[in-house]
C-alpha cells in the first residue's frame, strides 16, 4: 500500500484491541478527537483504524476543503495532515489551525526535502513524518502529542507549576502564558520548550537535552527542529531577532533564560 510500511504483526495487534485489551489515550474516559486528512483513501482509512483502536474519535477526509470545515466546526485535540491535498494543501490547513487553535498538528509528506520540514514546523506543526511510514510509529507519535496536550486540563497540584519572571508568567497546569499581562498563544511543543528553559533559568540547556526532554526521542546531529521552534517561540514573545532578551543562544552549546 503506497505510503505505508506494514507493521510486524498488525493482525495480532488488532485482535488484541478488539478483545478489549487496548490502552486508552486518556484516563478520563473521554475519547480524544483526531482529524486525519490524506488524499490517499487507503492511508487515511488505515490510520483511522489504528487510532480508533487506541480509543480515539476520528474524523477522516481526503481533501483540504472538507478538512477546513471540520477544523472550523469541531473541537479537536489533534490534526494529522497530508501536505499534498486537493483544494487546500496541508501547509495552509496548518496555518488556519494556528490562527485560533493550539492543539498539536502532525504533518505527513512523501517529500523528504529539509525545507519542507522547516516550512511545516515554522507555520506551527508539532511533528513531521515522511512517507512511507509504519502506522504504529504514527500512532505512538500521536499518543505522545495527545498526552502532552490533554494533560494541561489537570488542576494545579504544586507551586512548581507556576513560574514568573521578567514580565513572563507561565502556568504549567493550565498551559497558560502571559507576557506583561497579555496572553501568549503557544502550542504544546512551544510551551514545553519554554517551561524547560524557564525551570533551568541561569543554566544552558543543550539542543540535544532540550529535544530529548520535549520530544522524548533520540537527538540526531542534523536535527534542526529545536532551532525552528525556538525561532517561532521568540516571535511570539516579541523578541528582537538579533538581540533576544528572554531566550538567549549560547553558540555551539544551546539556549538559556537568564
| pTM for the model | 0.61
Confidence (pLDDT) at 19? 31
Confidence (pLDDT) at 21? 33
Give the integer Cα–Cα distance in Å for 60 and 81.
Answer: 10
Q: What confidence tier does 235 reach under pLDDT thresholds 50, 70, 90?
A: very high
CB 191 within 8 A of CB 183: no
Question: How far is C-alpha 186 from the chain's CA centre?
Answer: 11
Mean pLDDT of 82-107: 91
Mean pLDDT of 47-72: 94
Quick check: 15 pLDDT over 70? no
Question: What is the DSSP pairing of strand 168-171 with strand 162-165?
Answer: antiparallel
80: phi then psi, degrees, rounded to nearest 5: -115, 110
Q: What confidence tier does 222 reach under pLDDT thresholds 50, 70, 90?
A: low
- Say what percent of the chain tops pLDDT 90: 36
pLDDT in tens, 142-179: 998 898 888 754 444 444 677 887 788 888 878 889 88
CB 92 within 8 A of CB 84: no
CB 36 within 8 A of CB 56: no
Confidence (pLDDT) at 230? 92
pLDDT in tens, 99-108: 888 899 999 9
Amino acid at each position: 500500500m503506497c505510503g505505508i510500511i506494514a507493521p510486524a504483526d498488525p493482525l495480532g495487534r488488532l485482535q488484541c484491541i478488539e478483545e478489549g485489551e487496548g490502552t486508552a489515550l486518556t484516563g478520563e474516559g473521554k475519547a480524544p478527537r483526531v482529524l486525519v486528512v490524506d488524499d490517499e483513501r487507503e492511508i487515511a482509512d488505515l490510520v483511522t483504524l489504528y487510532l480508533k483502536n487506541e480509543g480515539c474519535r476520528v474524523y477522516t477526509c481526503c481533501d483540504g476543503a472538507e478538512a477546513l470545515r471540520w477544523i472550523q466546526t469541531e473541537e479537536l485535540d489533534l490534526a494529522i495532515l497530508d501536505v499534498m491535498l486537493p483544494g487546500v494543501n496541508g501547509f495552509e490547513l496548518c496555518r488556519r489551525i494556528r490562527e485560533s487553535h493550539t492543539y498539536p498538528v502532525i504533518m505527513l509528506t512523501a517529500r523528504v526535502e529539509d525545507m519542507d520540514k522547516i516550512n511545516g514546523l515554522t507555520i506551527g506543526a508539532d511533528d513531521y513524518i515522511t512517507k512511507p511510514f509504519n502506522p504504529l510509529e504514527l500512532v505512538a507519535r500521536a499518543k505522545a502529542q495527545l498526552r502532552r496536550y490533554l494533560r494541561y486540563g489537570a488542576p494545579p497540584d504544586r507551586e512548581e507549576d507556576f513560574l514568573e519572571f521578567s514580565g513572563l508568567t507561565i502556568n504549567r497546569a493550565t498551559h497558560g502564558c502571559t507576557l506583561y499581562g497579555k496572553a501568549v498563544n503557544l502550542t504544546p511543543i512551544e510551551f514545553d520548550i519554554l517551561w524547560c528553559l524557564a525551570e533551568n533559568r541561569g543554566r544552558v540547556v543543550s539542543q540535544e537535552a532540550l529535544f530529548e526532554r520535549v520530544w522524548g526521542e533520540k537527538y540526531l546531529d542534523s536535527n534542526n527542529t529545536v532551532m525552528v521552534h525556538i525561532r517561532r517561540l521568540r516571535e511570539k514573545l516579541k523578541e528582537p531577532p538579533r538581540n533576544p532578551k528572554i531566550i538567549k543562544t549560547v553558540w555551539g552549546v544551546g539556549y538559556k533564560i537568564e
